[in-house]
Amino acid sequence: MEMRFIDTHCDTMGECIARSEGKVTLQNNPGHINMEKLIRGGAMAEFFAIFIPTHDSGAGKGVTLPPYDYFQFVYKAYLKELEANKDVLAPACNYDDIMANKAAGKVSSVLTVEDGVPLEGKMERLEEFYQKGVRLISFTWNYENSLGFPNSKDPEIMNRGLKQFGLDCIERMNEMGMLVDVSHLSDGGFWDVVKHSKKPFIASHSCCRALCNHTRNLTDEMLHALGEKGGVVGINFASQFLNEGAEYTDIQSVVRHMLHIRDKAGLDALGFGSDFDGITSTLEFKDYTGLPLIVDALKPHFTDDEIDKICSGNMLRLIRDTLK
């Protein structure tokens, strides 16, 4: 299978592997992603997120470790998986790494953090995460942290911008070569990223608010601004972000959001941000092996070269321009 896809968000490492007490691995995970499925589906690079459960989310998952300790817990499992699969999977921190891994026939693994809460206002932790290979941080999840505020149905919270530490992190991440991720961020925080980031940024797993009125999605104005900055939107496969109240994700809904992003942000802003192993929706295309089915559905609307940009070209450009 051709190595053609870069997917900018999955929860496989934390949600499926780290908390399984060694029972679930990248070899046997029954969910959306394992090594066989990545290879069969045509993966070039997968962004493995360390999602940090806190508040109600942490309680519901039985997570009692503080955020920083939980990052270390999942990171340990991540290193173990890299070692166990080193013949077919290799870490990547930048464009050159991905190209070298591809030439060697290996899938690239890019490490990310979903929710900047473990930073706890400490810039030295951002430096530590960078040294450990983290190349993308989603500033917030669904709760306030030291960087800023989450998306919210409460207009007051939704309009709040980044805190000073969040602004400082933008500047330092731009310097170091890390991607700022606005998925889950408040609208006010999004516009602060637009204003202050000197580098392109990403919405690693988001959809279009004009097509599905959910606070996690991006407005047309946001899409335009992100496109103007050279950013990329990874389409999220969660049904509730594609169609209000839906529990089933059909391929045409994914295509519909992609066409809207092309119209509002431009072709160069399109990518995949599956949210695999972090979503409960029933998928028409099943799992990672179904990504080629989405490509087939894109063919009436895009040329082959344009589809290549959506699958990997746009993200390779963004990675080349931002990561070090």
SS3 50: strand
Count the neighbouring beta carbons within 10 Å of the beta carbon of residue 81: 20
- CA 61, CA 116: separation in Å to the nearest integer? 19
* pLDDT score at 60: 86
Q: Residue 186's closest CA among 220, 165, 211, 163?
A: 163
* pLDDT score at 1: 67
- CA 93, CA 85: separation in Å to the nearest integer? 18
Mean pLDDT rounded to a whole number for the chain: 97
Query: What secondary structure letter does DSSP report for 284?
Result: T
Residue 181: left (phi > 0), alpha (psi -120 to 50), or beta?
A: beta
Residue 259 has pLDDT above 70, yes or no: yes
- CA 308, CA 109: separation in Å to the nearest integer? 20
* pLDDT score at 59: 86
Please state, for a pLDDT cut of 70, what percent of the chain lies above it: 100
Q: Is 46 in contact with 90 (CB distance < 8 Å)?
A: no
Residue 183: left (phi > 0), alpha (psi -120 to 50), or beta?
A: beta
Cα–Cα distances (Å) from 136 to 84, 215, 233, 286, in that order, read: 24, 22, 14, 27
- CA 110, CA 288: separation in Å to the nearest integer? 17
SS3 42: coil
pTM of the model: 0.98
**Burial bucket for residue 308 (CB in 10 Å: 0-12, 13-18, 19+):** middle
* pLDDT score at 83: 98
For residue range 213-236, list pLDDT tens digits in order. Answer: 999 999 999 999 999 999 999 999
- CA 67, CA 119: separation in Å to the nearest integer? 8
Average pLDDT over residues 34-50: 98
For residue range 91-111, list pLDDT tens digits in order. Answer: 999 999 999 999 999 999 999
Residue 287 structure tokens: 């799992």
For residue range 118-138, list pLDDT tens digits in order. Answer: 999 999 999 999 999 999 999
Q: Residue 241's closest CA among 217, 259, 267?
A: 217
Residue 262 structure tokens: 């092309």
Residue 162 banded pLDDT, cuts 50, 70, 90:
very high
Q: Any idea which residue has 């430096």 for tokens?
A: 127
Average pLDDT over residues 192-197: 98
**Burial bucket for residue 255 (CB in 10 Å: 0-12, 13-18, 19+):** middle
